[in-house]
Amino acid sequence: MSEHSEGGTTDTVVGDGGTTIGPASPPVPPPSDDSGLSRRTWTLVLSFLVVIGLGLAGGFARVPYVALGPGPTYDTLGQVDGANVVSIEGQDTFPTGGHLTMTTVSLIDELSLFGALGLWVSGRYALAPREEFFKPGVSKDEVRDQNTKAFQDSQTSAEVAALRYLGYPVKVLAAEITKGSAADAVLQPNDRLRVVNGKQITVADDVKAALETTKPGDEIEITYDREGKQQTSRVPLGRTDGRETGFLGVLAVDRADAPFEIKIGVPEVGGPSAGLLFALSIVDKLTPGELNGGQSIAGTGEINENGEVGPIGGIPFKMIAAKEGGATTFLVPADNCVEAKQQAPEGLRLVRVETLTGAVQSIEAIIAGKDAPGC
């Protein structure tokens, strides 16, 4: 039995007659092993090594994910590094005000485990499989080149769409020529196409239409301008898989036919999604008054040469960047409206956009205090 005194607990051993025969002896510790570390010490050492290993793995081992979050924003009516984002040379322009802001997505690659978790926990970033952005067998340089080309193409499409909207004529150029094709024998890139197989060429689709009644081996005439001089040549059409018509081998593109030059430049940005904002900036600079009424309007959207606005990726992050940059209105491609509406920051007005014309009309309605199509 045990007896407890006010000063503490005292263990005793009780005999047969209930006689206390003295304090119990303390337990005898097991003999120590002088030849090495104890089991407890080994456990502590191993635990310490595991923690160090996990720390090194979490801090340095790369995970197959990228982080996506809000990227930089650029006012297409303003400047970057002292240069205009959109400049027009050889033509008088009108004063602008407010902001027409293009938005971007930030992509962070080569993440460690701890780095990826930290970005995800912040709530500003989402993780996505790396292979969605860097395909197997495609180098980072190749991905960068693809994004750069898409950005350059968006500038060209924005220019054509804006000038078409403003009523400027269009010219058709030979953009790419298939090596060894019929066109390769007579045409060069940037030749202006005038007549193909007797059909006047006013838009790029006219070239395809001019070949609809031909077959491989037919000889046709092509009239084109090169360096201001008009020329006519005859070529025999070739054959290509999957086509019954004759094959000319030229990629024709529409380009604005205006007596001035438009330059667009934003460093370190790739992809096509700034096209809509570039087009709006061109329209604003070439028309009287402030298109945005001096307000801060942001948006996104790919645009083609006919002024049609297509969907883009990363819109939740772009809306966050726009809101943090002071925008009150955000232009949303129609096909992105469902996603945008679900994740729009509070206080940011969403405007549904399908075409450049529709975007201009919606902005004018907002400035006038009228309704505009929303998501």
Alpha helices by DSSP H, 166-271? 205-210
DSSP code per residue over 62-129: B-SEEEEEEEEEEETTSEETTEESEEEESS------SEEEEEEEEEE-S-BHHHHHHHHHHSS-EEEE
Q: What is the DSSP pairing of strand 296-299 with strand 99-108?
A: parallel
User: 371 CB contacts (<8 Å, ≥6 apart)?
Assistant: 365
- On the question of pLDDT at 50 being above 60, the answer is no
Decide: residue 315, CB within 10 A, 0-12 exposed, 13-18 middle, 19+ buried: buried
Q: So which residues are the catalytic ones? A: 273, 318
55-113 tens-digit pLDDT: 444 445 688 899 999 999 999 999 998 999 999 999 999 999 999 999 999 998 989 88
Of all residues in the chain, the percent with pLDDT exceeding 90 is: 68
In angstroms, the Cα distances linking 373 to 70, 82, 168, 237, 351 are 25, 36, 28, 49, 6
312-363 tens-digit pLDDT: 999 999 999 999 999 999 999 999 999 999 999 999 999 999 999 999 999 9
Decide: residue 101, CB within 10 A, 0-12 exposed, 13-18 middle, 19+ buried: buried
Taking alpha carbons only, the member of 344, 69, 228 closest to residue 374 is: 344
Cβ(306)–Cβ(164) below 8 Å? yes
- On the question of pLDDT at 119 being above 60, the answer is yes
